[in-house]
Amino acid sequence: MDWILWIEWIVKGFVLCMLLLAGFAYLTLYERRALARIQVRVGPNRAGPQGVLQPIADAVKLIFKEELTPAKAYKAIFLMAPILTVVPSLIIAAVIPLGSSFTLFGRVIHLYVADINVGVLYLTSIASIAVYGIVLAGWSSNNKYAMLGGLRSSAQMISYELSLGLCFVIAILLGDSMNLNEIVAAQKDMWFAVVQPAGALAFLIVTLAEVNRAPFDMPEAEQELTAGYHAEYSGMKFALFFMAEYQKMIVISMIAATLFFGGYREFWFLQDTIFSVDRYWFLGPIYLFLKVVVLLFFMIWVRATWPRIRYDRLMAFGWKVLLPLTLFLAFITAVGILLQQQYPLMVSLWIFNIPVYIAIIPFLSAAIALVAVALIYRELRRKSHGRI
Domain boundaries, the chain: 16-64, 68-309
Tell me the C-alpha distance between 334 and 200, whole Å. Answer: 16
Q: Is the pLDDT assigned to residue 258 strictly greater than 90?
A: yes
How many whole angstroms separate alpha carbon 305 and alpha carbon 215? 9
Q: Which one, of 341, 288, 372, 371, lies nearest residue 23 by Cα?
A: 288
Q: What is the pLDDT of residue 249?
A: 92
pLDDT for 386: 53
Give residue 339's identity as a one-letter amino acid code. L
Give the amino acid at 62. Answer: L
Q: What pLDDT, on the 0 to 100 scale, is given for residue 63? A: 85
Task: Please give the single-letter amino acid code of residue 324.
Answer: P
Q: Band of the pLDDT at 172, cuts 50, 70, 90?
A: very high
Instruction: Identify the pLDDT of residue 384.
Output: 58
Query: SS in 3 state form for the chain?
Result: CCHHHHHHHHHHHHHHHHHHHHHHHHHHHHHHHHHHHHCCCCCCCCCCHHHCCHHHHHHHHHHHCCCCCCCCCCHHHHHHHHHHHHHHHHHHHHHCCCCCCEEECCEEECCCCCCCCCHHHHHHHHHCCHHHHHHHHHHHCCCHHHHHHHHHHHHHHHHHHHHHHHHHHHHHHHHCCCCHHHHHHHCCCCCHHHHCHHHHHHHHHHHHHHCCCCCCCHHHCHHHHCCHHHCCCCHHHHHHHHHHHHHHHHHHHHHHHHHHCCCCCCCHHHCCCCCCCCCCCCHHHHHHHHHHHHHHHHHHHHHHHCCCCCHHHHHHHHHHHHHHHHHHHHHHHHHHHHHHHHCCCEEEECCEEEEHHHHHHHHHHHHHHHHHHHHHHHHHHHHHHCCC
Distance CA 355, CA 347 (A): 6
Instruction: Using the predicted structure, report yes or no on whether residue 352 has a pLDDT greater than 60.
Output: no
pLDDT at residue 214 in the model: 78
Above 60 in pLDDT, residue 118? yes
Per mean pLDDT, which of 100-114, 224-238, 370-384 is the most reliable? 100-114
pLDDT band at 388 (very low <50, low <70, confident <90, very high): very low
249 closest CA partner among 30, 48, 3: 30
Across the range 14-27, mean pLDDT stands at: 90
Task: Tell me the residue length of the chain.
Answer: 388
HSE toward the beta carbon, residue 186, CA cutoff 13 A: 20
Cα 313 from chain centroid?
Answer: 22
Dihedral angle sign, alpha carbons of residues 86, 87, 90, 91: negative
- Residue 27: per-residue pLDDT: 93
Residue 58 banded pLDDT, cuts 50, 70, 90: confident
In 288-375, the DSSP E strands lie at 346-349, 352-355
CA 364 to chain centre: 25
What pLDDT shows up at residue 351? 40
Query: Tens digit of pLDDT for each residue in 129-156?
Result: 878 888 888 888 888 888 888 888 888 8
Strands, E assignment, the chain: 102-104, 107-109, 346-349, 352-355
Average pLDDT rounded to a whole number, residues 353-381: 75
Backbone angles phi, psi at 167, to 5 degrees: -65, -40
Evaluate if residue 315 carries a pLDDT over 80: yes
- A 10 A CB-CB count for 289 gives 16
pLDDT tens-digit map of 186-208: 988 889 998 899 999 999 999 98
The arithmetic mean of pLDDT across residues 221-236, rounded, is 73
Looking at the predicted structure, is the pLDDT value of residue 367 above 60?
yes
Higher pLDDT: 192 or 235? It is 192
pLDDT of residue 349: 44
Of the candidate ranges 91-105, 224-238, 325-339, 349-363, the one whose mean pLDDT is the lowest:
349-363
Average pLDDT over residues 77-99: 90
pTM: 0.90
Provide the pLDDT confidence category of residue 167 given band limits of 50, 70 and 90: very high
Predicted local distance difference test score (pLDDT) of residue 289: 94
CA 37 from centre of chain: 23
Mean pLDDT for the chain overall: 84
